[in-house]
Chains A and B, each alone.
Chain A
Amino acid sequence: MIWSQEYECMSRHRLRELQLKRLRQTLHRVEQNVPMYRDRFKEAGITADDIRSLDDLKHLPFTVKQDMRDNYPFGLLAVPMSEVSRIHASSGTTGKMTVVGYTKNDISTWAELMARTFSCAGVTNSDIVQVAYGYGLFTGGLGAHYGAERTGATVVPISGGNTKRQLQIMKDFGTTVLACTPSYALYMAETAAEIGLDLHELPLRAGLFGAEPWSENMRKEIEAKLGIMAIDIYGLSEIIGPGVASECPEQNGLHVFEDHFIVEIIDPATGEVLPPGQKGELVFTSLTKEAFPIVRYRTRDISILYEEPCLCGRTHVRIHRIMGRTDDMLIIRGVNVFPSQIESVLLEIGDIEPHYQLVVDRHDNLDDLEIWIEVSEKLFSDEVSGLEDLEHKIKEAIHSTLGISARIKLVEPKTIPRSEGKAKRVIDRREIYPS
C-alpha cells in the first residue's frame, strides 16, 4: 500500500527537479533567518544562489549536534516563536538537550510522512494502532500518533511501560498494529508468555519498530514471537523525528522520503561524499521544514545507500538498516546515552579524574546498563554506609541526567583496561548491529 503514489513513485527526473527547487527555498530561508547558517555560508564563500544543481550541495558546510548545543535552545529556528506550534527535544552529549521546533505546516508534513510509514505496513482506517512509544518531548510517541491518525486508523495512545496493561488492551481492544521500540516488542512477547497470553491468537498483524538499532535476527525473533510483520523505521528529532525513512513490505532497506529530505553518505573521516553502495555516515538536508530547517546534518549513523529500483514501486532510494555509529553514542531502552554524560555526573560528584566503563547488555530483552567506577581516594570512604551512599548518589544523578536507571559497580583502580593511556568506555554485549 502506497500512501502518496504521486510523490513516492515520482520519476527520478521529476523528483530531482522538485528536490532542487525545495533545496534552494530551504537555503534561502536559512540564509535569511538563521544567523549560524548565514555566517557559515559566508565563511565558505557561498550563497544560496550559488547552488544551481543538487551536485552543488556538497559545497555546503555540515551541521553537527554541537551546533544545537551552541544555539540552545532556539537559536536555529527560522521562524518567529509566534509561528512555532510545538517543541520537541532529545538528550544531548553533556546534559544540554537538542531542541527542535515545528510550525503548523511542519506538524502536518510530519503526519504525512508517518502516514506513509504506516502505509508501508498496510495500515488503513480499519486498523487499531497501539502507540507504545513514549509520549512527551521524545518524538516517537506523538510522531507515530499523528501519522496513524492521518491514515484514518483508530489510535490507542498508551505510551510506553506498564506492560501487562499493554497486553490487556491489545487483547481487549483487538489491536492490529503495534508501534514501539523493537526491544520493547520482545519484552512484551516475554511478558505475554509469562501470563499465558498467546499473541498468535490475537488480531495483531504488523509492527513499526524504531528509535534504536536492531538486527535482522531480532526481526526474525519478533516476527515469530508476535506472529506479525515487523517493519524497520528510521528518524531522528534533528531531521523531523520518525518518518525520515521506512522499510516497505519488501523489507530490504528503508526508503528515504526524498521529496522532503536529501540523503547523502559521506566518509566520516574526510567528509567526502561517497557513491551509492559504499558504507559511510548518513547526512540529511531537510527540504520542506519551516521552523527548523537543517542543512547537511551529520547523523553519526552508519549505513549504505541503494539506488536500485525497489519491487514495491517506490522510486525513493533506500538505506541499509543502521550498521553502527561513528561516535560513542549508545541507545539504551530508546534513550540516547553518551559516555561523556556519565563523566560529567562523576565530575559533579567530586571525582577529579573519573575512570569508568559502561557495560550494556540485554537480559530478557531489556537493555541493562551497568556502570563500573574505579574508586579513587577522593571517593573512598572506609565505612560501608559511606560507599553505599556514594553508589546511591551516583545512581540518582545518572537517573536524573539520562532518565534511565543504571547499576553502579564500584571497582578497584586499574580494573578498567587502558589502551594507549585511554580507557575503553563502552562494552556493548547486545550485538545489535549486523557484523
Chain B
Amino acid sequence: MKVKQVSIFLENKSGRLAQVTKVLSEQNINIRALSLADTADYGILRLIVNDPDTALAVLKQNGFTVRSTEVVAIQVPDRPGGLAGILQALEDLGINIEYMYAFVGKTHENAVVVFRVKDIDQAIPVLQSHGVRLLTGDEIYQN
C-alpha cells in the first residue's frame, strides 16, 4: 500500500532540473508525477517514476543527493468535493499531512493524490476503513 517516491536535493541554479530529467530519460524512466518544494537557496524535487530503484541508482551515480521516501497514493473521484471528504476524514483523526501533490490518472475519471504523513502505518488502515481506494506501488508505477 506504500508507494516509493524519489526525492532529490537541488540547488537553485539553472540547468539542474533539466539534468535530472536527462539522466532519467537516458535510462528510459518515465516520470509519473512530480512536485517541487523550494526555498531561496535550494529545492526538493519529489518524483513518482515507473522504476524507482533504477532512478535512485542512476541519480546517485550522477552525483545527486537522493533518497527514497514512502508515501501514500490514493484514488480520488475527479469531481468537485472528491478530495474534501478524504481530507476531512484525516483531519478528524488528527493525521497531519507533511506535503501532498496530485495528478490525473490515465483513465481521466479519477485523480491520484500523493501524500506524505508522519506515521504512514497509522494512516493506511484509517484510510482503508473510510473506504478510500489506496493504490499499490505497481498500480501507480505502471498506470
Contacts and interface: CB of A to CB of B under 8 A. Distances in A.
Interface stretch (A76-84, A90-98, A183-191, A409-417): A409-417
From B10, B65, B66, B99, residue with most partner A Cβ within 10 Å: B65
A410 B67 contact: no
Nearest to B71: A382
A377 B60 CA distance: 10
Given A375-B65, A382-B46, A410 B10 contact: no
B34 to A, nearest CB: 13
A380 interface: yes
A374 B67 CA distance: 15
Nearest to B39: A384
A376 B66 CA distance: 9
Contacts of B10: 412
A135 to B, nearest CB: 37
Interface in A381-396: 382-384, 387-388
B139 interface: no
B63 A387 contact: no
Contacts of A380: 7, 9, 65-67
Q: Is the interface of A mostly helix, strand, loop or mixed?
A: loop
Contact of A377 (B16, B67, B116): B67
B64 interface: yes
Q: How large is the interface on B (under 10, 10 to 19, 20 to 34, 35 or more residues)?
A: 20 to 34
Interface string A84-112: 00000000000000000000000000000
A387 B42 CA distance: 10
Contacts of B67: 377, 380, 382
A52 to B, nearest CB: 63
When A and B form their complex, which 8 residue pairs have the shortest distance between CB atoms, in order from nearest?
A382-B7, A375-B9, A412-B11, A375-B65, A380-B65, A384-B37, A382-B69, A414-B63
28 contacts: A375-B42, A376-B65, A380-B9, A380-B65, A380-B67, A382-B7, A382-B44, A382-B46, A382-B67, A382-B116, A383-B37, A383-B44, A383-B98, A384-B37, A384-B38, A384-B39, A384-B44, A387-B9, A387-B44, A409-B41, A410-B9, A410-B42, A411-B42, A412-B9, A412-B10, A412-B16, A412-B65, A413-B64
Interface of A: 374-377, 380, 382-384, 387-388, 409-415
